[in-house]
């Protein structure tokens, strides 16, 4: 092989490598920077910026790191029987809210941890890693998991971390937010309305009617009991 041919091959290889590098950088920038991150993370993007006191670059470095660590996670499909079990547990927790709001929210926290683990996310014993991975793949609804977990930890710690004890309305809001993530993990947007008991006034207790219509029966009965 002549020297000229060897030089030509080297040049061709160098050009191919350079083009591949440019394309990789562009793809990375599209997925991990600016508009790409905003589209992927939605409300999580705004929360990250707020956590970094408005420092957009720092927030994007954080979110880009999450994508690098958890973006390749493949969710494991659930068997129908598994979906049924999670739905049944949630329905029971919803009914429990009538008499024990705090315990119901704590159970919601456990259900989400178990459901996420069943889908292939880090197990619930590694909450920080689990919620970070969920933020990458379920950015629109992961805040609901944080909400129930925060409320649960507050009561477990006896308020040692400070702050005002959550009232019944806070607990109800936590359950509503959490249900949206459960829909993503288990129901895939299609779930049956959980069974509820009638409210004390004799009216039929509202059933779950989607993410905006979630109703917890007997709520007013407890508004002076918690908080």
Q: Which tens digits make up the pLDDT trace of 171-220?
A: 999 999 999 999 999 975 443 333 333 233 333 333 333 333 444 444 33
Answer yes or no: is pLDDT of 21 > 60: no
Percent above pLDDT 90 for the chain: 48
Tell me what pLDDT residue 188 has.
55
Residue 45 confidence (pLDDT):
92
Q: Can you give the pLDDT at residue 162?
A: 61
Comparison of pLDDT for 37 and 124, the residue scoring more: 37
**DSSP string for residues in the chain:** --HHHHHHHHHHHHHHHHHHHHHHHHHHHHHHSHHHHHHHHTHHHHHHHHHTTT-HHHHHHHHHHHHHHHTT--PPPPPHHHHHHHHHHHHHHHHHTTT-HHHHHHHHHHHHHHHHHHTTSPPTTSHHHHHHHHHHH-TTTHHHHHHHHHHHHHHHTTTTT-SPPP-HHHHHHHHHHHHHHHIIIIITT--PPPP-PPPTTSSPPPPP-STT----TTGGGGTTT--
Query: In the structure, what pLDDT confidence band is assigned to residue 170 with cuts at 50, 70 and 90?
Result: confident
**24 or 160: whose pLDDT is higher?**
160
Find the mean pLDDT for residues 128-150: 94
Read off the pTM.
Answer: 0.67
pLDDT for 38 beyond 80: yes
């Amino acid at each position: 092989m002549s020297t000229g041919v060897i030089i030509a091959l080297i040049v061709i290889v160098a050009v191919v490598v350079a083009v591949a590098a440019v394309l990789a950088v562009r793809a990375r920038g599209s997925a991990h920077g600016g508009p790409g991150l905003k589209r992927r993370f939605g409300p999580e993007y705004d929360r990250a910026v707020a956590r970094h006191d408005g420092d957009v670059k720092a927030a994007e470095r954080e979110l880009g790191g999450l994508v690098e660590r958890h973006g390749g996670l493949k969710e494991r499909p659930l068997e129908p029987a598994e979906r049924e079990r999670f739905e049944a547990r949630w329905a029971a927790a919803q009914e429990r809210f009538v008499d024990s709001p705090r315990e119901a929210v704590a159970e919601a926290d456990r259900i989400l941890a178990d459901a996420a683990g069943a889908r292939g996310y880090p197990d619930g014993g590694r909450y920080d890693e689990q919620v970070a991975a969920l933020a990458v793949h379920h950015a629109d609804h992961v805040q609901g998991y944080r909400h129930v977990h925060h409320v649960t930890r507050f009561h477990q710690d006896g308020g040692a971390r400070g702050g005002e004890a959550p009232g019944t309305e806070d607990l109800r809001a936590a359950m509503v937010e959490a249900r949206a993530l459960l829909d993503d993990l288990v129901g895939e947007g299609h779930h049956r309305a959980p069974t509820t008991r009638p409210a004390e006034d004799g009216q039929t207790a509202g059933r779950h009617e989607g993410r905006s219509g979630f109703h917890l029966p007997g709520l007013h009965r407890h508004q002076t009991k918690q908080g």
